[in-house]
Structure 1
Amino acid sequence: MKNICVFCGSSAGKEAHYVEMAKELGNSLSSMDMNLVYGGASIGVMGAIANQMLENKSEVWGVMPQSLVDWEVAHDGLTKFEIVDSMHRRKEIMYEWSDAFVAIPGGFGTLDELCEILTWAQLKYHKKPCYLLNYNSFFDHLIAHFKLINKEGFLSDDHLKLLTVVSSISELEKEMKK
């Protein structure tokens, strides 16, 4: 694995620890000599991880629809930046550029990206690892819901296993090194 796609929020959240976690994850990925693929924003948790990895001299690749560039949220210091015409195309390129996927705290966009990449794995469009960093128990309810849809017969055991859930950055590092 070299190119890691991180799905995360363009918001910083209400507490400063989310930005600090993103910076710590950036340091971790840089220390493992990985590149970041992400949504291309300069703000929020997205901006924090990108800035940290750039500070560490890692490559950071962003993809953003023109409509968001027009809102002036695009990061202007990335190693590679692609402007696209739709969110769908954004996700396609992020997928194409990435060897693995990690979701960290974010909103609807983060959940959309995570669920779409898991659906693609379920449909055997890819076999790339998918991780959920359940930092600060942020995703507890989502994980419980995934288990519920499995229990109710809407998601097989094998498909539930397509997502590796970790609770810390150190645990994520261990899983990624396997």
Structure 2
Amino acid sequence: MTAICVYCASGRHVPEEYLDLATRLGTAIGKGGHSLVSGGGNVSMMGAVASATRAAGGHTLGIIPRALMEREVADLDADELVVTETMRERKGLMDSRADAFITLPGGIGTLEELFETWTGGYLGMHAKPVVLLDPDGFYEPLLSWLRGLVERGFVTAESLDRLRVVATVEEAIEVTTGG
């Protein structure tokens, strides 16, 4: 069983297509016999991926800071819910409890998690797959900017290659689980 950490939007108002994407990913995680590591919220995409994982028979671990319990509305249905004192403690536990990472569309919190995990992998702090699931070009402006950083010499091509960009849920599961 692979423990897959999913980073995604936790805001209440996201387009339905992204809630559907989160649901499809959660279903694939659960049906594949894998477990989900999430930020511990039960709303928006975060809630959708967790609910779908459980509905498909997968185990869910939510990790949420005490200060966000009310704001994000904690996933009290999680198989395991860990409450931390700080965001840094939350991220450290998410990182240590995961075997792989998938990032879905999201905002600045999602981007911060993606960049930290991706950088840690590039620097050799872990060898876990870091996947960006981008089925509709949501991240294309960011990827274009990153390619420009390579051209300007601020980022190496190897570091950009460390981030696996895929277009389908199936590809994301394949890359994170090795098959």
Q: If the TM-score is normalised by the length of the shorter chain, which range does it land in?
A: over 0.9
Residues 1:22 and 1:72: Cα distance change in structure 2 (over 3 Å): closer
Give per-residue Cα distances to partners, 1:106-151, cap 9 Å, x unaligned.
Answer: 1111000000001111221111000000122111111111111111
Give per-residue Cα distances to partners, 1:2-55, cap 9 Å, x unaligned.
Answer: 100000010254421111111111111112111000100010000001011111
* SS class of match (1:136): coil
Instruction: Give 1:26-175 correspondences, 5 Å limit.
Output: 26-71=26-71, 73-175=73-175
Range that drifts further, 134-143 or 91-100 = 134-143
Aligned pair count? 178
Verify the 8 A CA contact 1:9 1:110 in the aligned structure 2.
yes
**Matched-pair identity in %:** 31
Range that drifts further, 65-74 or 138-147 = 65-74
Distance 1:82 1:137 in 2: 34
- TM-score normalised by the chain length of structure 2: 0.94
5+ residue gaps, structure 1, are none
Verify the 8 A CA contact 1:104 1:135 in the aligned structure 2.
no
- TM-score normalised by the chain length of structure 1: 0.94
Q: Which amino acid aligns with 1:92?
A: G
Residues 1:163 and 1:93: Cα distance change in structure 2 (over 3 Å): same
Distance 1:172 1:105 in 2: 14
Q: CA RMSD in A?
A: 1.4
Verify the 8 A CA contact 2:43 2:72 in the aligned structure 1.
no
* SS class of match (1:135): coil
Range that drifts further, 68-77 or 26-35 = 68-77
* SS class of match (2:57): coil
Verify the 8 A CA contact 2:41 2:73 in the aligned structure 1.
yes
Residues 1:22 and 1:109: Cα distance change in structure 2 (over 3 Å): same
